[in-house]
Chains A and B, each alone.
Chain A
């Protein structure tokens, strides 16, 4: 492989193309030949550097300089200055600017921070910062004043439930693990956060690792465990590093190790790093992986509280569950239980993404409505479009529609509506999203992540995906929707673990609420949201001015027409990439289905 001293990445997104990105690339190649730099500098085409509005834009590595707004004529000067003389050309350099937003702030309206209270406030690498905000005081209270049973009672009374998504009461789980006889018990923390677009746990692990560690030590005291594992995914290298630093500091201060705080209570902890399998978020697969076995689930019972890591009773909770514990101990169960609904207490973190104005990480009290989360906390739908649906619970959750907007955030309420709380991914969709396509996207993910141990999940998810693909391709036949529905019920009923049992949820919930979209695809060969490419058509309307921009940018030369004459798209050549729509300055290209 040839070695280049510098790489130039030129953005070729439609917007930059329309502004002459290809001319810039060509000019660059010519100039490199002229200057004899062809062996030293490589020009590559890329997309989405982030400055298309000032395009054409390019990124120069290894310096990481972002240039915008140059034309082909500027290229010789740029090459001479930057690559021959080694001087950055300030004239074209993109300087970061902040869009001042009145409502944006660390605490958005209606947010309540319990788990995230220290994130972004303290130095995670310094235990003293955590100590200064009452860190490890809950541990002191537990060891000094409470019996293990009292701790379990307090957590039970607080109403804290498993924040990994299933919502099993944390206090009851601790009680179960405590009751099982045995000298050796383990604490396990599930930090294998894998839902697409969800990174609530990462923020806690990186920003406030000691709250998780303290929660685990308190839990260990309650259930009688002497050793613990934090199972963190390998894709979070910074979280692993932060945790290891925090564990070392906790040991140094005597919060971990033998004779904690001068008592005869011993507990220590280590981080185990996953190997990239989504299914390892399932507790039995996770424990197998901790023991060095293949990350595959096994049937329950026996539950981990009876037979977990190394065959011993093990208590498994999620990062967020543990991070809640110190606050519950310090401020009391009644304080925690005062937030939320009758069955779901406290707060929940969410990663809000999709078509909202202010995506990001939030923490809201239980009982808040989806409407408040989407329209108040996340700023509503982007670009003034119409809200269509929200996917909660990640790839195993379900879609909720406009009629569910006033549903309170509550484990049971979400389950009754056909979705689930999940670990906290929240994807908001507007009218430009095709629900069949969304279902296909999530099924594509779960199918790829199926571990293959049980047949319903291994074969079933594959067959569901094929059917969805067929429908999106416009090849759906009469009976396919019913077949899809049957298959989904079978896979959900017969799969071994939560992955297979939950995988059909996005399909079933979209079938329930948006069946008409499936029917339009199958019977009318139409995609109402105009997303599925084989089912849409591009046409140039009368408002075309004949500027030729679309014709120049069409990658397959499907557009013809004279200057100042209305252009025409050859349907047979068109690959429906949509570039013509994006580059047209007169909104003259229409999409129909």
Chain B
């Protein structure tokens, strides 16, 4: 990315970033967001992340973007992951260890039905 040299360019870069973000939230695309603050990592978010990535590789899934984010303010419930299916509302899961993550990937991301036991109602 070459340095931004004018305000017009700054506006354009913002539009592009916004378009990219919106594209992720279109039908057929799935976003899996893992909270990776200090609290999340201490609770095992790295294993959760690994489990998500392993599942995608093993099942050869396409259209799934995995990203990370910071602390959501509910450190007690970490590791937390969020699943966004296309343009549907975000589903937030709490206390997601590696097994639960794999279960979520199978049942929610692949199967389309959220895992009720681990959903944080928000």
Q: In the complex, A105→B91 CA distance in Å?
A: 12
Secondary structure type dominating chain B contacts = mixed
Q: In the complex, A128→B5 CA distance in Å?
A: 17
B53-78 at interface with A (beta carbon < 8 Å): 67-77
Residue from B118, B119, B120 having most chain A Cβ neighbours under 10 A = B120
A29 on interface, CB distance cutoff 8 Å = no
Instruction: Give chain B residues whose Cβ lies under 8 Å from the Cβ of A100.
Output: 119-121
A96 on interface, CB distance cutoff 8 Å = yes
A360 on interface, CB distance cutoff 8 Å = yes
Contact A361 B10 (CB under 8 A): no
A102 on interface, CB distance cutoff 8 Å = yes
A270-289 at interface with B (beta carbon < 8 Å): none
Residue in chain A with minimal CB distance to B20: A128
Contact B71 A361 (CB under 8 A): yes
A36-94 at interface with B (beta carbon < 8 Å): 64
Partner of B38, one of A135, A202, A262: A202
Q: Which candidate, A118-126, A329-337, A340-348, A563-571, is the interface stretch facing chain B?
A: A118-126
Contact B72 A261 (CB under 8 A): no
Contact A361 B75 (CB under 8 A): yes
Instruction: Give chain B residues whose Cβ lies under 8 Å from the Cβ of A252.
Output: 1, 3
Q: How far is the CB of B44 from chain A (nearest CB, A)?
A: 8
A591 on interface, CB distance cutoff 8 Å = no
Contact B95 A98 (CB under 8 A): yes
Partner of B120, one of A104, A124, A137, A239: A104
Contact A261 B5 (CB under 8 A): yes
A208 on interface, CB distance cutoff 8 Å = yes
Q: In the complex, A101→B18 CA distance in Å?
A: 33
**Given contact pairs A123-B67, A255-B4, A95 touches B73 in the complex (Cβ within 8 A):** no
Q: How far is the CB of B34 from chain A (nearest CB, A)?
A: 10
Residue in chain B with minimal CB distance to A203: B71
Q: In the complex, A69→B47 CA distance in Å?
A: 24
Secondary structure type dominating chain A contacts = loop
B113 on interface, CB distance cutoff 8 Å = no
Instruction: Give chain B residues whose Cβ lies under 8 Å from the Cβ of A144.
Output: 7
B35 on interface, CB distance cutoff 8 Å = yes
Q: In the complex, A129→B33 CA distance in Å?
A: 13
Q: In the complex, A104→B121 CA distance in Å?
A: 7
B96 on interface, CB distance cutoff 8 Å = yes
Instruction: Give chain A residues whose Cβ lies under 8 Å from the Cβ of B97.
Output: 95-96
Partner of A207, one of B2, B70, B119: B70
**Given contact pairs A105-B121, A207-B71, A262 touches B17 in the complex (Cβ within 8 A):** no
Partner of A253, one of B13, B71, B92: B13
Residue from B3, B41, B97 having most chain A Cβ neighbours under 10 A = B3
Instruction: Give chain A residues whose Cβ lies under 8 Å from the Cβ of B120.
Output: 98, 100-101, 104-105
B87 on interface, CB distance cutoff 8 Å = no
**Given contact pairs A104-B120, A126-B67, A203 touches B73 in the complex (Cβ within 8 A):** yes
Contact B76 A360 (CB under 8 A): yes
Q: How far is the CB of A308 from chain B (nearest CB, A)?
A: 29
Q: In the complex, A54→B46 CA distance in Å?
A: 26
Residue in chain A with minimal CB distance to B95: A96
**Given contact pairs A120-B35, A253-B13, A140 touches B7 in the complex (Cβ within 8 A):** yes
A236 on interface, CB distance cutoff 8 Å = yes
Interface size class on chain B is 35 or more
Q: In the complex, A583→B117 CA distance in Å?
A: 32
Q: In the complex, A325→B55 CA distance in Å?
A: 41
B114 on interface, CB distance cutoff 8 Å = no
Contact B20 A125 (CB under 8 A): no
Partner of A261, one of B1, B10, B35: B10
Q: In the complex, A46→B41 CA distance in Å?
A: 22
B86 on interface, CB distance cutoff 8 Å = no
A94-153 at interface with B (beta carbon < 8 Å): 95-98, 100-102, 104-107, 116, 119-126, 128-129, 131-132, 134-137, 140, 143-144
A219-256 at interface with B (beta carbon < 8 Å): 236, 238-239, 252-255
**Given contact pairs A98-B118, A254-B5, A206 touches B71 in the complex (Cβ within 8 A):** yes
Residue in chain B with minimal CB distance to A362: B73
Residue in chain B with minimal CB distance to A119: B70
Q: In the complex, A132→B97 CA distance in Å?
A: 30
Instruction: Give chain B residues whose Cβ lies under 8 Å from the Cβ of A208.
Output: 70
**Given contact pairs A207-B69, A257-B3, A238 touches B41 in the complex (Cβ within 8 A):** yes
Contact B121 A262 (CB under 8 A): no
Partner of B37, one of A105, A123, A137, A203: A203
Q: In the complex, A107→B121 CA distance in Å?
A: 11
A359 on interface, CB distance cutoff 8 Å = yes
Partner of A129, one of B4, B13, B21, B76: B21
Instruction: Give chain B residues whose Cβ lies under 8 Å from the Cβ of A129.
Output: 17, 21, 67
**Given contact pairs A120-B73, A207-B70, A253-B1, A105 touches B118 in the complex (Cβ within 8 A):** no
A328-383 at interface with B (beta carbon < 8 Å): 359-362
B14 on interface, CB distance cutoff 8 Å = yes
Instruction: Give chain A residues whose Cβ lies under 8 Å from the Cβ of B99.
Output: 95
Q: In the complex, A107→B57 CA distance in Å?
A: 34
Q: How far is the CB of B96 from chain A (nearest CB, A)?
A: 7
**Given contact pairs A97-B95, A98-B95, A262-B5, A122 touches B69 in the complex (Cβ within 8 A):** yes
Instruction: Give chain B residues whose Cβ lies under 8 Å from the Cβ of A136.
Output: 10, 14
Q: How far is the CB of A87 from chain B (nearest CB, A)?
A: 15
Instruction: Give chain B residues whose Cβ lies under 8 Å from the Cβ of A134.
Output: 14
| New A-B contacts (19) at CB < 8 Å, excluding given A105-B122, A107-B122 | A96-B95, A98-B94, A98-B117, A98-B118, A105-B121, A106-B122, A119-B69, A120-B35, A120-B69, A123-B33, A124-B68, A124-B70, A132-B21, A136-B14, A199-B38, A239-B38, A252-B1, A254-B2, A257-B3
The 5 closest A-B pairs by CB, nearest first: A207-B70, A254-B3, A120-B72, A105-B122, A262-B5
